[in-house]
Amino acid sequence: MPTVTFLPGYRKVTVPEGATLLDAARAAGLSMNVVCGGEGKCGKCQVYVKDGTVSFDREKYRRFFSEEEIARGVCLACRAYVVGDVQVEVPAGSLIEEQKILVEIPGMQEIPLNPAVRKYEVRLEPPSLEDTTPDLGRLLEGIERQGGPPPNRVYAPLGVLCSLPQVLRRSGWHVTATVALVPGGYRLSSVDEGDTTGRLYGAAVDLGTTTIVAYIRSLVDGRILATASNYNRQISCGEDILSRVNFSRRSGLARLQQLAAESINEALTTAADAAGIDREEILEVMIAGNTVMTHLLLGIDPAYMIAEPYIPVVRRMLSTAAGRIGIAAHTNAGVYTFPAVSNFIGGDIIADILAAGMAEREEATLMVDIGTNFEAVLGNSDWMLSCAGAAGPALEGGEVLFGMRANPGAIERVRIDPDTLAPSVSTINGLRPRGICGSGLIDLLAELFRACVIDRTGGINLELDHPRIRKGQYYPEYVVAWKEETSIGKEIVITENDIKSLIMSKAAIHAACMTLLDAAGLAPGDISRVCFSGAFGNYLNKENAVTIGLIPEIPPECIENIGNGAITGANIALVDRRRRKELDGLARRITYIELNADPSFMDRYTSSCFLPHTDIALFPHVQQTLEACRAKQGVRSWQA
Amino acid sequence: MPTVTFLPGYRKVTVPEGATLLDAARAAGLSMNVVCGGEGKCGKCQVYVKDGTVSFDREKYRRFFSEEEIARGVCLACRAYVVGDVQVEVPAGSLIEEQKILVEIPGMQEIPLNPAVRKYEVRLEPPSLEDTTPDLGRLLEGIERQGGPPPNRVYAPLGVLCSLPQVLRRSGWHVTATVALVPGGYRLSSVDEGDTTGRLYGAAVDLGTTTIVAYIRSLVDGRILATASNYNRQISCGEDILSRVNFSRRSGLARLQQLAAESINEALTTAADAAGIDREEILEVMIAGNTVMTHLLLGIDPAYMIAEPYIPVVRRMLSTAAGRIGIAAHTNAGVYTFPAVSNFIGGDIIADILAAGMAEREEATLMVDIGTNFEAVLGNSDWMLSCAGAAGPALEGGEVLFGMRANPGAIERVRIDPDTLAPSVSTINGLRPRGICGSGLIDLLAELFRACVIDRTGGINLELDHPRIRKGQYYPEYVVAWKEETSIGKEIVITENDIKSLIMSKAAIHAACMTLLDAAGLAPGDISRVCFSGAFGNYLNKENAVTIGLIPEIPPECIENIGNGAITGANIALVDRRRRKELDGLARRITYIELNADPSFMDRYTSSCFLPHTDIALFPHVQQTLEACRAKQGVRSWQA
């Protein structure tokens, strides 16, 4: 079989003739950037053949390449077939980069501890001719004496029974039993030699489409011992959910199941190593993921979720043994997945709701989780409404000329001097700018609007005579950073086209929020707070978010960033069995509003495609501020 | 690797050099008679090397062979090592023969039907944009509408969820769901396309040390569809329980687990084929086996049961999925094993108690199950006492010169003319006699005693001048069949030594029954009935059993043969979930009396080593009959 060598790392792999370079890269453990899932559609998996040849129809994919790239031997890895030994260079841009993953959440230590799994140290009388109680009965009686559940309520899995006689005898009848509360009773999850009551761990996992975050905590005292995060290895099978589902239809669900488990295992291993514990000591795992991710992890076919009428197989909380789905914890550890409301309001959003404490308050909260898609939930302890939609990739830096993910070098904060129109920017890790990420784009939009560089439709005011404002090749543009300031050898600009994409994205979110409010018969003033969940919300300038009309106007002090709500919610459900038990009921209580089926949503969307909105009266405070700005600036008129 | 060819069937198998011929025979699927478990101790696995050579220390095992056998190249398969290609002849006597297995039980059809597993045919509305209930929720709501349990009580295993979306759509949303009642709720075991409500089957299995019996019945109407029986394939690893446990310690538990499952699968396959059903349609399996067999089937180590203080790992009813232990039924079929009282009062005896209906009666029943070991249970709906002991192999035909198992050609009934002392015998399948099985031996003992050929100690009256009564080579003997009447080319005799072995066996059983009665403060007259369970009891002449003092004297009309109580009990627990649920409680309620720890047992045993007993007054009716016999016979005096 031919050998494929990947440069610059000289990773070698042997693949059958006819395999694609993408197959080979996967086999070599390289995470290639395959937005389309390997269908030759996104042009992101570019590689250069350095030695040897591949079979690749360059003419067919010509549109993805510059002349220079073609001259250097560019190919699409997903469409180049191995015909013999070959050396291939993979440019950094074709690999998935290290991203800023939101891991730490303030206040996480204070969750009340009431775990579903407990340990009991028992010292047993050895059996004798006078007391021939069997091993299991003897142990269960000991557990009951230590305050555990009565023997007839405890189910003992075969795996535990198979090792029980040896463990009891080797330990001199001094063991620690782990007992988990499960529906209908208790399960004897594990029996260890000696006293291990101090070592009882649980893991909370945020299973994101892009990233995995894991927390390991002691279930004895609730302490967080370690956190870890890494990419979801499924990215090599497609960046977004749709391409993952398509990959699973094409190449089988099993691979995606395995990659999901491996991704979680990577995080668990890193965290366990950092915590100085053995993964085998993790006795419960609580996983929050969206509906498709949850299906994939459990090996349940998500195919029917992506075509009308968009039906998931299961919505309820599921529990299974870690060993059953290849999770690297104790083989009998209970793995619990959050329930979902619908395809689009998944377990991650239920975890957000838990993190936001929405169901514990009488006052209404509006919770918004923004990514490529957005989800919004409005409600209180009595009722909850939810909806979801596509925000488009603009807010995450996609489809914006110099947009990028929240990677090092991304501009994440922008201020524009209203007099000089000069921007001051800060970047992730303080590097020279490479592009602009979501929070930077929101800032830019608000600042350009306040400085009257753009009007309410997002149009750039070319009449302003300023070196940063110019006509551009295709669209009017504003120069955010000059060539010599950046690390990419060219200027970073934002175009009018970029701005319009951003406005469409924010409009969808605003219209969704208004649809929920209207369905509940509430006005923005009736909401006690807005919670942003997720990385995007976390780095967002709250005032700017209101200024551009991303959300209805409420005072900035009522806006909270709850951070990574999915991992916070997973932590809560991990340590507090009472809260976990309520989740199915909570999910069932949430009404899902299908925006596409709501005729008023389109009207609201159209009205929201302005800064901040067609009806500026909906944003009285923004109006006031803008008027003050304009009055001060004087020189530039505010175009109504 | 060398090839071993077994004659006469020319079965060929390739084994590594150094393997034993027994290993090779097992690999070739031959069930060799290995009483000692392959330790070179029983000499039963004799084979003849016809071509090629093996490494075998013939001098060391010389005691097992005649000169003629040595001349013909005899070896012990378990101690002969393969060094090259070899042809080996296996005499029929070294293979396990077809035995009379007790399969049919009268009155079995009439068990009330109340199964733990039910089917629901549901026709579902296909999902639409207006009704996006997930697949599982949609199905469970349909089940509830058909009178099934509420959705939140039903647990859905991952395996079912993985196939659910396809099954629902392929069937046009018309499916049949199988729901099983399990502790704490319900389990969705299976979802089939279309209406399969008429096809719901369960299996009852008697997992004996020697034989497997399986029943397949419809759980829709309770009908028995087929029965099957075969040997326990574990016999190739040792005939009795002790050698099996030793084999598991030596060669691993996994092999015995696999053989137990394969043996059950053989019976299930035969029965399923006869019934015209697919094994996949078997949704519940109820298994009655002794404590060691149950441990082995589940892969739980029985090692600690054979050494002081004789402790099993588990005693309670266990349930597991068929797929988990390799049982060839539906992979999610619930496999239930009967609970046990102790090492010696296992699930088979609990099944006997169920079959005898002991726990449903106010009057006391004495139940006796006789094999190489015996078990006795005394009690009623309020209380139960049990004990067990070694009967020795005599009653099953072992250790008796011409004793044999209940195979074709075994003498199973004997009458002796008191005047001529000539026996009339009947054999299994009416063949010419080859030996005497258990029921024949009991008959012989009683008839010889009545005819005054033997005295109350079992001594043969050599003063009787009769060609059938003679001194013999080692012991006095009685000729049961002349050479020309048998199929073995020699006479069949019973020796005084055989008779004394039989008396010791029966004495142990009688003493055990008396110990139970005494512990309960009852006399034999307080028992309303005696139930014999098992093959031995089934073919037993009741009056003869009392005559020799096998059991305390009660009128023959109060003695019942309940047949194979294990399979009857398994059938009851299969079809009636209420009775199954009571089993753990029943097992816990039974007090086990350790005979070895009871000083009065030895005294009782010694007193019972007479025909029928030292104290003939305990057997007034037998005394009366014997006196009448003797009076009539006149010629021979009855030696008191």
- The 10s digit of each residue's pLDDT in A433-462 is 999 988 999 999 999 999 999 999 999 999
Tokens standing for B504?
């010791």
Q: Do B161 and A311 touch (CB under 8 A)?
A: no
Q: Pick from B161, B312, B318: which is nearest to A300 by CB?
A: B161
Q: A with B: how many residue pairs have Cβ under 8 Å apart?
A: 131
Partners of A257 on chain B (C-beta within 8 Å) are none
By C-alpha distance, which of B388, B368, B322 is closest to B529? B368
Closest Cα in chain B, distance from residue A562 (Å): 30
- CATH node for A3-94: 3.10.20.30
Q: Is the dihedral of CA B246, B251, B256, B262 positive or negative?
A: negative
Residue A5 scores a pLDDT above 80? yes
More confident residue, B195 or A227: B195
Contact predicate B533/B367, CB 8 Å:
yes
Taking CA atoms, A156 is separated from B155, B319, B320, B508, in Å, by 18, 10, 10, 37
pLDDT of residue A504: 94
Give residue B99's pLDDT. 47
Res A537 pLDDT > 80? no
Sorted by where each begins, the domain ranges of chain A are 3-94, 116-193, 357-387+508-544+552-599, 394-502+623-633
Residues in chain A within 8 Å Cβ distance of B343: 132
Architecture of the domain delimited by A357-387+508-544+552-599: 2-Layer Sandwich (3.30)
Mean pLDDT of chain A: 90
CA-wise closest residue to B109 among B561, B532, B573, B568: B568
- Give Cβ neighbours of residue B180 (< 8 Å, ≥ 6 apart): B116, B117, B118, B186, B187, B189, B283, B284, B334
Residue-wise pLDDT tens digits, A296-350: 999 999 999 998 898 999 999 999 999 999 999 999 999 999 999 988 999 999 9
Fold of A116-193: Ubiquitin-like (UB roll) (3.10.20)
Whether the per-residue pLDDT at A103 is higher than 70: the answer is no
Distance from CA of B206 to the nearest CA of A (A): 21
Measured in angstroms, the CA of B161 and the nearest CA of chain A are apart by: 6
Locate tokens 């409420």: which residue?
A554
In angstroms, the Cα distances linking A465 to A420, A444, B474 are 11, 19, 131
What the block records as the tokens of B308 is 């002081």
Report the amino acid identity of residue A493. V
Q: Which residues of A touch B304 (CB under 8 A)?
A: 135, 165, 169
Interface contact B165-A313, CB threshold 8 A? yes
Residue A98, CA distances (Å) to A407, A410, A480, A492 in order: 7, 12, 24, 22
CB A342 within 8 A of CB A290: no
Single out the residue of A389, A378, A485, A394 nearest to residue A431, CA to CA. Answer: A485
Q: How many helices (H) and strands (E) does chain A have?
A: 16, 29
**pLDDT per 10-residue tile (average), chain B, 640 residues:** 81 84 80 74 83 89 81 89 90 64 53 91 94 95 97 94 96 97 92 96 95 93 89 88 92 94 96 94 97 97 92 95 96 96 94 94 94 91 94 75 84 92 90 90 95 93 93 93 91 94 94 96 94 81 94 92 91 94 95 90 94 93 86 55
Q: Which residue has the higher pLDDT, A104 or A277?
A: A277
Q: Which residues, other chains included, contact A461 with Cβ-Cβ below 8 Å and sequence gap of 6+? A: A452, A453, A454, A455, A469, A636, A639
Peptide bond preceding A612: is omega within 30 degrees of 0, i.e. cis?
Answer: yes
- CATH number for the domain whose boundaries are B201-349: 3.30.420.480
Q: How many Å lie between the alpha carbon of A124 and the closest alpha carbon of chain B?
A: 14
Q: Which of B131, B158, B187 best probes binding to A when mutated, by most A CB atoms within 10 angstroms?
A: B158
- In this chain, the answer to whether the domains covering B201-349 and B352-391+505-622 adopt an identical fold is yes
**Taking the CB of residue B194, how many other CB atoms lie within 10 A of it?**
13
Q: Under CATH, which architecture does the B352-391+505-622 domain have? A: 2-Layer Sandwich (3.30)
What strand order describes the sheet that includes B74-76? B11-14, B3-7, B86-89, B46-51, B74-76
Per-residue pLDDT, averaged over A45-53, amounts to 88
- Amino acid letter for position A638: W
Report the C-alpha gap between B342 and B431 in whole angstroms: 41
Q: Report the distance separating Cα A507 and Cα B590, nearest Å.
A: 74
B165 to A304: CB separation less than 8 angstroms, yes or no: yes
Of A102-111, A179-188, A260-269, B63-72, give the lowest mean pLDDT range: A102-111
Q: What's the rounded Cα separation, in Å, for the pair B506 and B504?
A: 6
Instruction: Give CA–CA dist A129/A132, Å, rounded.
Output: 6
- The DSSP secondary structure of B254-315, one letter per residue, reads HHHHHHHHHHHHHHHHHHHHHHT--GGGEEEEEEEE-HHHHHHHHT---GGGSSTT---S--
Pairing of strands A3-7, A86-89: parallel
Q: Provide, as residue numbers in chain A, all residues whose Cβ is less than 8 Å from the Cβ of B597.
A: 129
Selection from B582, B600, B580 nearest residue B590 by Cα? B582
Helix (H) or strand (E) holding A632: helix A620-633
The alpha-carbon gap from B311 to the nearest alpha carbon of chain A, in Å, equals 6
- DSSP H helical ranges for B156-290: 158-170, 241-251, 253-275
What residue type is assigned to position A508 of the chain? A
Task: Give the integer Cα–Cα distance in Å for A280 and A328.
Answer: 7
Does A311 contact B134 at a Cβ distance shorter than 8 Å? yes
Mutation target vs A (from B311, B317, B582, B596; most A CBs, 10 A cutoff)? B311
**In 10 A of CB A220, how many CB atoms?**
15
**φ, ψ for residue B532, nearest 5 deg:** -95, 130
Which chain A residues are Cβ-neighbours of B592 within 8 angstroms?
132
B155–A303: do the CB atoms touch at under 8 Å? Answer: no
Q: Which residues of B touch A183 (CB under 8 A)?
A: 155, 184-185
How many contiguous H segments (helices) and E segments (strands) does chain B have? 16, 29
Nearest beta carbon to residue B132 from set A152, A161, A342: A342
Of A128, A136, A298, the CB nearest to B313: A136
Given B161, B185, B311, which is nearest A184 (Cβ)? B185
Q: Would the CB atoms of B132 and A314 count as touching at under 8 Å?
A: no
Task: Convert the pLDDT of each residue in A402-437 to its tens digit.
Answer: 888 777 888 999 999 988 999 999 998 888 999 998
pLDDT score recorded for residue B29? 67
Query: What is the per-residue burial (b if ≥16 Cβ within 10 Å, else e) of B66-100?
Result: eeeeeeebbbbbbbbebeeebbbbbeeebebeebb
Rounded to the nearest 10 degrees, the angle between the axes of helix B253-275 and helix B241-251 is 120
Burial label for B387, CB within 10 Å (0-12, 13-18, 19+), is buried
CB A450 within 8 A of CB A442: no
A191 CA to chain B: closest CA distance, Å?
Answer: 14
CB contact (8 A) between residue A304 and residue B156: no
Preferred mutation among B304, B313, B337, B595 to probe A, highest tally of A CBs within 10 A: B313
Residues of A in contact with B184 (CB under 8 A): 182-185
Q: Which residues of A touch B134 (CB under 8 A)?
A: 311-315
Residue among A152, A183, A300 minimizing CB distance to B162: A300
Instruction: Name the residue type at position B111.
Output: I
Interface test with B, best of A154, A158, A249 (most B CBs within 10 A): A158
Nearest CA in chain A to B308: A129
Nearest to B134 among A303, A308, A314 (CB): A314
Angle between helices B438-450 and B496-520 (to 10 degrees): 100
**Who wins on pLDDT, A511 or A563?**
A511
CA atoms of B593 and B591, how far apart (whole Å) = 6
Confidence of residue A372 (pLDDT cuts 50, 70, 90): confident
Which residues on neighbouring strands pair with residue A87, listed in sequence order?
A5, A51
* Nearest chain B residue (CA) to A320: B158
**Nearest in space to A523 (alpha carbons), one of A322, A352, A378:** A378
What is the least distance, in Å, from the CA of A299 to any CA of chain B? 7
Minimum Cα–Cα distance from B128: chain A residue = A309
CA B81 remoteness from chain centre: 33
- C-alpha distance from B292 to closest chain A C-alpha (Å): 13
Task: Give the other-Cβ count within 10 Å of A551's Cβ.
Answer: 25
- Contact list in B for residue A181 (CB cut-off 8 A) is none
Q: Is the pLDDT of residue A624 over 70?
A: yes
Query: Which of B128, B164, B311 lies at the smallest CB-CB distance from A313?
Result: B164
Please provide residue A85's backbone torsions phi and psi, each rounded to the nearest 5 degrees.
Answer: -55, 140
Give the Cα separation of B587 and A211 in Å (integer).
Answer: 53
- Which is it for strands B529-533 and B365-370: parallel, antiparallel or unpaired? parallel
Which pair of tokens denotes residue B425? Answer: 């015998």
Of B501, B502, B606, nearest to B550 (Cα)? B502
Nearest by CB to residue B597, choosing from A129, A164, A318, is A129
Chain A residues touching B325 at Cβ < 8 A: 158
Quote the pLDDT of residue A431: 86
CB distance A350 to A587 below 8 Å: yes
Q: In angstroms, rounded to a whole number, what is the distance separating the alpha carbons of residues B445 and B614?
A: 17
For residue B43, give the 3-state DSSP assignment. coil
pLDDT tens string A12-24: 778 888 889 988 8
Find the closest chain B residue to A181 by CA distance. Answer: B184
For chain B, the residue count is: 640
Contact A324 B155 (CB under 8 A): no
